[in-house]
Chains A and B, each alone.
Chain A
């Protein structure tokens, strides 16, 4: 039921390499979230945006991760220097507002070798 598009579906990187993934939110949804889901099914919030502005982000995101949601372009999440512990499913979600239902994309599964 989701119209959130995430690419690529799978991403394989070596340690120290950059890893970049993209997300096109559902049309008309100004709010975008990025979550990391590890192999133990634990979700970690990374960052969220309203339009192009960052609303919240965690420390990890501030240091090794960069993210943006430019106008008229896909949102992106980039890991500057991948580590083995970054291997996870990265989920993007969009919402019509800050306190409304989230719709997730299919995720990008990152494997860092």
Chain B
């Protein structure tokens, strides 16, 4: 079954607003990564977390350090260029493959 449940599946924002995406894991994960995929298919790495939080500009991600069962991606002051499909992917054990969520399509409008 699916190990990674991502929500919401789609989201529409106006420029300047804030929002958050979430991934729940059905089992304890060792690490999580967040990606944004553009319309041409390119997957851009946003964050890699083994624990705690990381921030990069208007994006901030957190990985639950206790249970290791969920991660969030916060988008602050959304801009048009933030549009795309966001994926989380988590790794269960050492050297194991990533399990991906089904993506969250974000549309930012003026």
**Chain A interfacial positions (CB closer than 8 Å to B):** 1-2, 33, 35, 37, 40-43, 45, 48, 55-56, 89, 91, 93, 98-104, 106-107, 109
Contact = CB atoms under 8 A, between A and B. Distances in A.
Of all A-B residue pairs in the complex, the 4 with the closest CB atoms, nearest first, are A101-B48, A43-B100, A104-B43, A45-B97
B72 interface: no
24 contacts: A1-B44, A2-B42, A2-B44, A2-B45, A35-B100, A40-B102, A41-B85, A43-B87, A43-B89, A43-B100, A48-B97, A56-B96, A56-B97, A91-B43, A100-B48, A101-B45, A102-B33, A102-B98, A103-B45, A104-B35, A104-B42, A104-B44, A106-B41, A106-B42
Given A99-B30, A107-B41, A45 B98 contact: yes
B95 interface: yes
B31 interface: yes
B45 A102 contact: yes
A93 B91 CA distance: 15
B84 interface: no
The prevalent SS among residues of B at the interface is strand
Interface of B: 30-31, 33, 35, 40-45, 48, 85, 87, 89, 91, 94-98, 100, 102-103
B95 A1 contact: no
Nearest to A31: B95
Contacts of A107: 41-43
B97 A106 contact: no
A55 B35 CA distance: 23
B21 to A, nearest CB: 14
Contacts of B30: 99
B95 A55 contact: yes
A89 B43 CA distance: 11
Contacts of A2: 42-45
A98 B94 contact: yes
B59 to A, nearest CB: 13
Contacts of A104: 35, 42-45
